[in-house]
Amino acid sequence: MPDPLDSRVPPGQRLVDDFPVLHAGSVMHVDKADWKLTLSGLVTPQATIDFAALLALPATDQVSDIHCVTTWSKLDTRWRGVKVKDLLEHYTIDPQAKHCVVHATGGWTTNLPIEELLLDDVLVAYEYDGKPITAEHGGPVRLVVPRLYFWKSAKWLRGIEFTAEERLGYWERVGYHRLGDPWLEQRYS
Ligand SMILES: Nc1nc2c(c(=O)[nH]1)N[C@H]1C(S)=C(S)[C@@H](COP(=O)(O)O)O[C@H]1N2
Ligand SMILES: [Mo]
């Protein structure tokens, strides 16, 4: 009998029950009161959104599977946050913008095509499993991009910069795949 879970586990991945903590450098400690998301580059108006403003936006509860390039996958992770798509509703992205650079506190970055950023399940998340996201897991606010390897899900999110050209992020510059689709096993470029 084929295991029905297999269809949810991308090639080369194995399931874990715990929630590993993984990042370059040290854990960033960002106070909710100081947290801000800056929208910059080819977007109007340029803006900063603080934590209260984020909480005031329509929230989404979502259950997603996540897949780290180091081969662990975790099924049914529960997040609450604001869809990027909803957050950007009151902003205009310049038609020349095709990519974005996602900025994290501490200088870490990752890159995404805008069409991936705007998928329905991409969240600016502030709760994990019914509780505020811990600092270890990127709180107070992280990005969650379930359809790509989990390194695209920037912890300690602080900015989204819209660009015409693709600008590679921290891991992408050292050889990780520019897109990182786990179903196509796009680990390295
Ligand atoms: N700011 C930041 N975000 C990051 C990373 C990082 O090094 N810095 N690592 C990524 C990687 S490789 C993974 S697998 C996930 C891990 O998230 P977790 O620690 O909550 O499991 O965060 C991603 N987001
Ligand atoms: Mo990862």
**Domain-embedded: residue 41:** yes
Q: Looking at residue 96, what is its pLDDT? A: 98
Q: Looking at residue 3, what is its pLDDT? A: 77
Distance CA 76, CA 86 (A): 23
157-163 and 99-104 as β-strands: parallel, antiparallel, unpaired?
antiparallel
Say yes or no: CB of residue 68 within 6 Å of ligand 1.
yes
Q: Looking at residue 6, what is its pLDDT? A: 77
Instruction: Tell me the average pLDDT of the chain.
Output: 97
Say yes or no: CB of residue 114 within 6 Å of ligand 1.
no
**Domain-embedded: residue 23:** no
> Per the confidence metrics, is the pTM higher than 0.95?
yes
Quote the domain boundaries for residue 74.
Answer: 11-16+29-184
Say yes or no: CB of residue 139 within 6 Å of ligand 1.
no
Task: Yes or no: say if 134 and 28 are a contact pair by the CB < 8 Å rule.
Answer: no
Q: What is the mean pLDDT of residues 147-161?
A: 98
Cα-flanking dihedrals φ and ψ of residue 95, to 5°?
-60, -20
Report helix, strand or coil for 91: coil
Partners of 142 in beta bridges: 125
Whether residue 1 has pLDDT greater than 80: no
Q: Looking at residue 109, what is its pLDDT? A: 98
Q: Looking at residue 78, what is its pLDDT? A: 98
Distance CA 78, CA 121 (A): 12
| CATH number of the domain encompassing residue 98 | 3.90.420.10
Q: Which mutation among 17, 155, 172 tests ligand 1's pocket best, with the greatest number of atoms within 8 A of CB? A: 155
**Domain-embedded: residue 136:** yes
Ligand 1 atom closest to the Cα of residue 24 is 7
Task: Yes or no: say if 73 and 9 are a contact pair by the CB < 8 Å rule.
Answer: yes
Residue whose token pair is 């934590």: 51
Whether residue 155 has pLDDT greater than 90: yes
How far is the CA of 157 from the CAs of 75, 116, 187, in angstroms? 23, 17, 23
Residue type, 47: A
Counted domains in the chain? 1
Say yes or no: CB of residue 23 within 6 Å of ligand 1.
yes
Confidence of residue 4 (pLDDT cuts 50, 70, 90): confident
**Domain-embedded: residue 22:** no
Beta-carbon contacts of 111 under 8 Å, excluding residues fewer than 6 positions away, are 99, 100, 101, 102, 166, 167, 168, 169, 172, 178
